[in-house]
A and B are shown apart, each in its own frame.
Chain A
Amino acid sequence: MSTQTQNLRGPSSIMGTVRERLDKTQIGGRPPSYYLSGWRLGVFFLALALLFPLVTDQTLQVTAISVGVYVLLALGLNIVVGYAGLLDLGYVAFFVVGSYTVAVFTGGILQRSDGTVAEIRQFPFWYLLPLAALLAGLFGVLLGAPTLRLRGDYLAIVTLGFGQILPIVFQNVPWFFGQLGMSALPPPDIGPISFSDTGNRAPFYYLTLLLVVLVILAVSSLRDSSLGRAWVAIREDETAAAASGINLVRTKLLAFGLGAVTGGIGGALNASFLGAIAPTDFNFGISITILVMIVLGGLGSIPGVIIGAMLLRFFDVYLLGKINDTVHSSPLVTGDGSPLHFLATLDFNTAKYLIYGLILMAMILLRPQGLIPNIRRQRELAGIGAAPEGVSAVGLFEQEVAGEELAAVDVGEQTEYVGEGSEALGREDHV
């Protein structure tokens, strides 16, 4: 027994150092946050957001609206990837469904391929917003159902395909307006509030803010519910989750469906705000952009995901242009003989996805938990509690009984014995 104790000093002291490391990085002791904790911070940011249109010009408000759309999308994808741990590379599909639902049913100006123009007027936006959410959710479940048996890479590939196919379907099926899409979608005017004045973007801004706040409340409520727990449990150990009474099919489909609903809302809002849609607007790049947003901010972390979406969108609509201008006017580039002359013809907008790719790689290598991490995700990434598959945890942990620390006994699968002095039966366990 004493020699075994000696042998086990190794692993237990390793555990000790892991714990020390945890305490240093403050991810060891603190339990995950609960519903609306940090709500004071939330109210503060909400107040700032409410005051935003009073102190900013139209350009900034328009930027804020497009940021808001992506915040919605990122929060939605976060349900699927961050909460349920299902890698979805075709999230743009639900954005498409939301956008097209609005376009098809509000009507607008339609340019046919023969050059004729038709004007259609149908239902108001306000009926279509819930319809868009519903239809997108339906598509989410439709996509989810056949792919549930797939895991990891395979799931990613199938969802990627779905995201590629759907815009092409919309482009080619006759009653979806073809290549040119639809323009002049009617604004969602309601009563005295006009959304159509391009000189006053505040109504759209507040609509976006309202939707963002509602979605934040919904996803934090989900996270802290029994459903949220079920998602984490599935991510941690599917077999144990199922054996605890969690219906794997239903729980995963709910993640797909709810993520898609949020994507649909984002799509509906975006279509109505832009007043036009075209099938070419929806590409794989959008799926990747949203994924980069949530990885950058921190998978599973609501504030992280919001920050990630804001940063990347800011980079996209503002910083990229600035970089372009700065580089192109720099004497290092404009000078004829300068070594950087080749940059003069480089449009950084075309290098956007290269930069996103670099961000994604850098984050995965340097800070996989994201800028504002979800504590649980951070632990998972640190490899805490991740026992190697099929390896018994026996012997890795010191044991305590009634406060008394006892040496761990190394009873492996194959060294079990029966009674005193009997031979061990080293038969492999097949089951």
Chain B
Amino acid sequence: MTTSTVLLRLTGLTKTFGGLTAVDNVTFDVQQGQIYSIIGPNGAGKTTVFNLITGIYKPTAGDIVLGGQSIAGLTPDRVLRRGITRTFQNIRLFNNMTVLENVLVGQHTRIPGDLPSVLLHLPNYRRADSRAHARALELLRFFGPALVARKDDYAANLSYADRRRVEIARALGSTPKLLLLDEPTAGMNDPETAEAIGYIRTLRNEFDLTILLIEHKLQVTMGISDQICVLDYGKKIAEGVPAEIQRNELVIEAYLGRKAPVE
């Protein structure tokens, strides 16, 4: 951690669905340039935190501050314009669009959207559009020439690992400050997971990102995280550097269950 600027700050973030409190008074800071992980058992509210940050849900209480400005309650497209993008746990590509088109949609905000520009393909629109094409190819190339070769294939026809890659390429299209990755190694075996971890580090360095990561696999988070927050039943039960988390009694309990009382 070279700088100590807070990029994202959650304060008392709460979300209830009827009687269920999915996220309960969660507070944490993410520093600029960090890889910050949120871990916790199934149903702990990790994805809900992501949905709150990206504006898919509106918080019941609490605040979300990005670089000093509150983004709580903004619509997802506004949140993206402020510099946050995300991937989804179950990979949500536009299946009947080509790989290139998927990555182009990620750059939607970089192309003028006013009606005259769009309708008449005015010079400023054309320039932005060809810049977007070039950048889309660049992003695909980052993940290897194999993906560039498949740019005109429909996203539905890609392998699972390639779909993950395209989703990240799409998310990077808007040149975000903060990238939210929701279980990027879900469904991957050990060698693939190792490769993905390498990618996450490279992404942070190459694209000058701060990364907020949801991860199930403890070995993944321990290896790459600067800071970890543990959620259980919507509450933050621990926060700290990986070594602290590994020793934390509450965390072990949340994952493995309570120790049987010794007679």
Q: A residues bordering B, Cβ < 8 Å?
A: 19, 28-29, 31-32, 35, 218, 221-222, 225-227, 229-230, 232-233, 236-237, 239-248, 250, 254, 376, 379-380, 384-387, 391-401, 403, 406-409, 411, 413-414, 416, 418-419, 422-423, 425-431
Contact = CB atoms under 8 A, between A and B. Distances in A.
Interface in B240-263: 255-257
B56 A401 contact: no
Given A218-B119, A393-B160, A399-B161, A245 B108 contact: yes
B129 A397 contact: no
Contact of A430 (B20, B101, B155): B20
29 contacts: A226-B113, A226-B118, A227-B118, A229-B104, A232-B94, A232-B96, A232-B97, A233-B94, A242-B56, A243-B54, A243-B76, A244-B80, A244-B173, A245-B108, A248-B77, A384-B154, A385-B95, A385-B96, A385-B156, A397-B163, A399-B187, A401-B195, A409-B189, A422-B256, A423-B257, A425-B257, A427-B43, A428-B42, A431-B46
A148 B240 CA distance: 44
B47 interface: yes
A261 to B, nearest CB: 10
A241 B105 contact: yes
Contacts, number: 204
Contacts of A395: 187
A86 B133 CA distance: 28
Residue with the greatest number of chain A CB neighbours at <10 A, chosen from B95, B120, B129, B216: B95
Interface residues on B, range: 35 or more
A428 B216 contact: no
B146 interface: yes
Interface in B88-126: 88-98, 101, 104-106, 108-109, 111, 113, 115, 118-121, 125
A229 to B, nearest CB: 6
A419 B219 CA distance: 7
Contacts of B85: 243-244
Interface of B: 17, 20, 22, 41-43, 45-48, 51, 54-56, 75-77, 80-81, 85-86, 88-98, 101, 104-106, 108-109, 111, 113, 115, 118-121, 125, 129, 132, 146, 152-163, 170-171, 173-174, 186-189, 191-192, 195, 216-219, 255-257
Contacts of B146: 403
B154 A244 contact: no
Given A232-B96, A423-B256, 14 more contacts: A31-B154, A222-B118, A233-B94, A241-B105, A244-B105, A244-B171, A245-B109, A391-B90, A393-B91, A397-B158, A408-B160, A419-B218, A429-B47, A430-B22
List 5 A-B pairs, minimum CB-CB distance, nearest first.
A385-B95, A385-B156, A394-B187, A242-B76, A240-B92
Contacts of A408: 160, 187
Contacts of A218: 119
Contact of B192 (A32, A399, A414, A427): A399
B255 to A, nearest CB: 5
A380 B154 CA distance: 12
Contact of B94 (A236, A242, A407, A414): A236
Contacts of B94: 232-233, 236-237, 240-241
B158 to A, nearest CB: 8
Contacts of B76: 239, 242-243
A422 B255 contact: yes
A376 B97 contact: yes
Contacts of A419: 218-219
A225 to B, nearest CB: 4
Residue with the greatest number of chain A CB neighbours at <10 A, chosen from B41, B48, B158: B41
B30 to A, nearest CB: 19
A239 B186 CA distance: 20
A317 B20 CA distance: 61
A221 B119 contact: yes
Nearest to A403: B146
Contacts of B154: 28, 31, 379, 384-385
Contacts of A241: 94, 105
Contact of B93 (A240, A407, A427): A240
